[in-house]
C-alpha cells in the first residue's frame, strides 16, 4: 500500500502545471523519507508486539526404582524399576493474559494436572479461572519428598479443582480466595470414562458398612465435590536472619450424592514455615470432617492414580518437616537437599487406627536431572502397603525417583 501511495503522489506532482522541477524533487525526497520511516515502523511493530507475547514449553520424563518390604514378589526380584511418567508443560503470556497447563502420561492413565488462564490486575493482584491448585495450608507443598505428606492422600495437599481464584500478594501478606464449582473432572456427572484417572485425590463416594476398602462406590452412593469455598491468609515476619511465615486456611463445601442425599465438608488448618540460613522447617495442623444427611458416615471413597481407596470421614493431621539445602560443585551436581518429613493422621472415627509416615531422604539437583532418594517408614499409609482406614503393621520402602526436566 505504501508503494502505491508513492506512485500516486508522483503522478499528482507530475501533472501539477504550477510546480517547478526543484519543487518536485524536494517533494519526492520528502515523500521517500516518509515512506522509509513508515516501512521501518511497520517492520518494528510485530517485534514490539512479540515483547507482549511469551510461550514456553517444557516437561519431564521420570523413572523409579522401589524396594518394598511389604511385597514378597518385589523383594524376591530385588525391587522393581518402572517408568513413572512423561509430562508436557506450557506457560505463557499473550497480550497480558496468562495461561498455564500440564498434561501427564502414566503407564496406566493419562491426566490433566492443571490448566488455567489468568490476569494480573496489578503488581499485587491476580485472578485465575480453570483447574488450579487449591489454596490450603503450606504452599506449594507441605513436604519435601516424592510421596508428599499424608495430607495429599486426604485431598488436602497439592489438590486441583475447577473454579475461580483470586490472590493478593505483597512483601508481607498473602490472601487467597477461591470458589470451586466441582473437581477437575466435572463433579458427579462429569464426562469422563474413569473417575479414578486423576492426579489429585477427591471424594467420589460414600463408603458403606461392609464394603471393601478399595471397592467402587455402591450404586446410588457415588458422590462429587461441589460449591467449595477456600480462604487462606499468611503473613511473613523478618527477624534478622530468620524468616517466618504464619498462616491460616479454611475450606467449606457441599457433596452431591447420586441418590439425592445432601452432604457437606469442612476443613481448617494453621501452619508455620521457618527459614534460617540453609534450614527450612514446616509445621501444619489440619482438621477436616465430612457429613451426609441421615447417615452416620465413618469412611468416604476417594479416587486417584487409577484406583479407589477410602479415608476416614473425619480426622486431625499433623505435619512436621525439616530440610537442609547444601550447595555443592560435584561435576553436574549443584545442590543436595536433606530432609526428614513426618506426618500423623489421628482422631479417626470408631477407633480407626492412626496413620503415620516418616520419610528420610535427599534430593539431588544435577542440571536438568532431579532425583529423590527416599526411605519411608509408615503404617496405614497409601503407597506404602496400607490405607488410611487400614489396620496394618509398620511397612518400609526404599525409593529412588529420578527425572529429567526440560
pLDDT tens digits for 298-354? 999 999 999 999 999 999 999 999 999 999 999 999 999 999 999 999 999 999 999
In angstroms, rounded to a whole number, what is the distance separating the alpha carbons of residues 387 and 400? Answer: 22
Q: What integer pLDDT is reported at residue 95 of this predicted model?
A: 86
- pLDDT at 7 exceeding the cut of 70: no
CB 111 within 8 A of CB 198: yes
Q: What share of the chain is helix, strand, coil (3-state, %, to 5)?
A: 15, 55, 30
CA distances from 367 to 135, 335, 364 (A): 30, 10, 10
In DSSP terms, 179 is beta-bridged to: 164, 229
Q: What integer pLDDT is reported at residue 53 of this predicted model?
A: 82
Q: What integer pLDDT is reported at residue 33 of this predicted model?
A: 52
CB 149 within 8 A of CB 159: no
- pLDDT at 17 exceeding the cut of 50: no
Q: What integer pLDDT is reported at residue 374 of this predicted model?
A: 98
CB 335 within 8 A of CB 302: no
In angstroms, rounded to a whole number, what is the distance separating the alpha carbons of residues 345 and 381? Answer: 10
Residue bearing cell 502545471: 17
In angstroms, rounded to a whole number, what is the distance separating the alpha carbons of residues 76 and 79? Answer: 7
Confidence band for 77, pLDDT divided at 50, 70 and 90: very high
Q: For a pLDDT cut of 70, what percent of the chain falls above it?
A: 87
Mean model confidence pLDDT for the chain: 90
First to last CA, the chain: 44
DSSP H or E stretch at residue 40? helix 21-50
Q: What integer pLDDT is reported at residue 385 of this predicted model?
A: 97
3 state DSSP class of 318: strand
Q: Cite the beta strand spans of 69-124 per DSSP E.
A: 80-94, 97-105, 110-120
pTM of the predicted protein model? 0.87
Provide mean pLDDT across the span 106-120: 97
C-alpha cell of residue 243: 524468616
Confidence band for 30, pLDDT divided at 50, 70 and 90: low
Long-range contact set of residues 164-169: C-beta below 8 Å, sequence gap at least 24:
164/127, 164/128, 164/129, 165/116, 165/118, 165/126, 165/127, 165/128, 165/129, 165/132, 165/135, 166/125, 166/126, 166/127, 167/125, 167/126, 167/127, 167/128, 167/135, 168/124, 168/125, 169/124, 169/125, 169/126
Least Cα distance to 359 among 389, 385, 387, 398 occurs for 398
- pLDDT at 83 exceeding the cut of 60: yes
Higher pLDDT, 96 or 328: 328
Furthest-apart CA atoms within the chain: distance in Å = 107
C-alpha cell of residue 330: 560435584
- pLDDT at 274 exceeding the cut of 50: yes
Residue bearing cell 503393621: 393
Amino acid at each position: 500500500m505504501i508503494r502505491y501511495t508513492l506512485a500516486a503522489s508522483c503522478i499528482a506532482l507530475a501533472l501539477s502545471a504550477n510546480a517547478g522541477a526543484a519543487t518536485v524533487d524536494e517533494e519526492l525526497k520528502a515523500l521517500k523519507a516518509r515512506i522509509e520511516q513508515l516501512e521501518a515502523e511497520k517492520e518494528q511493530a510485530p517485534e514490539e508486539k512479540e515483547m507482549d507475547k511469551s510461550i514456553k514449553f517444557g516437561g519431564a520424563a521420570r523413572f523409579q526404582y522401589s524396594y518394598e518390604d511389604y511385597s514378597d514378589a518385589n523383594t524376591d526380584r530385588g525391587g522393581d524399576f518402572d517408568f513413572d511418567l512423561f509430562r508436557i508443560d506450557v506457560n505463557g503470556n499473550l497480550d497480558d493474559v496468562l495461561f498455564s497447563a500440564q498434561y501427564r502420561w502414566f503407564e496406566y492413565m493419562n491426566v490433566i494436572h492443571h490448566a488455567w488462564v489468568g490476569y494480573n490486575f496489578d503488581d499485587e493482584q491476580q485472578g485465575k479461572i480453570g483447574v488450579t491448585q487449591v489454596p490450603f495450608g503450606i504452599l506449594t507443598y507441605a513436604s519435601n519428598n516424592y510421596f508428599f505428606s499424608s495430607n495429599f492422600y486426604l485431598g488436602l495437599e497439592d489438590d486441583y479443582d475447577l473454579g475461580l481464584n483470586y490472590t493478593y500478594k505483597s512483601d508481607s501478606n498473602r490472601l487467597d480466595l477461591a470458589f470451586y464449582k466441582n473437581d477437575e473432572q466435572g463433579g458427579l456427572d462429569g464426562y469422563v470414562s474413569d473417575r479414578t484417572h486423576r492426579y489429585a485425590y477427591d471424594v467420589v463416594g460414600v463408603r458403606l458398612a461392609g464394603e471393601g476398602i478399595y471397592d467402587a462406590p455402591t450404586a446410588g452412593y457415588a458422590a462429587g465435590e461441589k460449591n467449595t469455598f477456600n480462604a487462606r491468609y499468611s503473613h511473613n515476619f523478618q527477624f534478622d536472619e530468620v524468616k517466618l511465615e504464619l498462616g491460616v486456611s479454611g475450606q467449606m463445601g457441599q457433596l452431591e450424592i447420586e441418590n439425592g442425599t445432601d452432604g457437606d465438608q469442612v476443613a481448617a488448618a494453621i501452619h508455620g514455615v521457618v527459614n534460617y540460613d540453609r534450614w527450612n522447617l514446616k509445621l501444619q495442623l489440619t482438621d477436616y470432617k465430612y457429613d451426609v444427611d441421615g447417615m452416620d458416615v465413618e469412611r468416604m471413597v476417594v479416587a486417584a492414580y487409577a484406583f479407589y481407596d477410602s479415608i476416614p470421614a473425619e480426622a486431625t493431621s499433623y505435619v512436621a518437616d525439616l530440610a537442609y539445602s547444601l550447595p555443592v560443585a560435584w561435576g553436574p551436581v549443584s545442590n543436595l537437599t536433606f530432609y526428614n518429613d513426618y506426618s500423623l493422621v489421628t482422631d479417626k472415627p470408631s477407633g480407626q487406627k492412626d496413620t503415620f509416615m516418616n520419610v528420610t531422604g535427599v534430593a539431588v539437583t544435577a542440571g536438568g536431572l532431579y532425583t529423590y532418594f527416599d526411605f519411608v517408614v509408615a503404617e496405614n499409609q497409601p503407597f506404602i502397603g496400607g490405607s488410611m482406614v487400614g489396620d496394618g503393621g509398620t511397612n518400609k520402602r526404599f525409593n529412588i525417583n529420578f527425572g529429567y526436566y526440560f
